[in-house]
Amino acid sequence: MWDERIRRVRTFADSITERDVEAALEVCHPEIEFPSLMAQLEARPYTGHAGIRRYFRDIDATWEEWRIEVVELMAAPDGRVVIVMSTHMRGKESGVPFTQPVANVWEFEDEKLLRATLYRDPAEAVRAIEVGSAGSE
């Protein structure tokens, strides 16, 4: 189970870098909730497959580069997966580069990505799975 879930999380991250929306949708549950850094501007996550398509369009409209560098992938005993990553961006108009370390804790349904919780501090994501897992043992 964990190997497949980790693979799906990595596939989603790689699909963002490669701008491959179809590969992203293959690993996403139809009711996915994805609170990307970009979604924080609107204070609501990208939802459903239509939301993921909009996410890719938003990246293309605003950013010359939006690349995910996976730092670490960890499986929690409760079935969630943490991805610690560095998001590298460069504005389309300004050309200004920006790098943001972040992490997502992913939940699954039917072995597809269902819901991510975004952490601007990756250490908080790791603590969240440790705390969440302690109650499930």
Torsions phi, psi of 67, nearest 5? Answer: -125, 135
Could you tell me the residue range of the domain that residue 107 belongs to?
2-134
Higher local confidence (pLDDT), 91 or 2: 91
Q: How many domains does the chain have?
A: 1
Residues 6+ apart with CB under 8 A from 66: 16, 17, 59, 87, 88, 89
pTM for this predicted structure: 0.90
- Tens-digit pLDDT profile for residues 12-54: 999 999 999 999 999 999 999 999 877 666 668 999 999 999 9
- Residue 72, domain CATH: 3.10.450.50
Question: Which two structure tokens, joined as six digits, stand for 26?
Answer: 């293959």
Cα–Cα dist 95/33, whole Å: 30
Q: Which amino acid is at 50?
A: A
pLDDT score, position 132:
56
The CA distance from 73 to 20, in Å, is 21
19 is written with which tokens? 């701008």
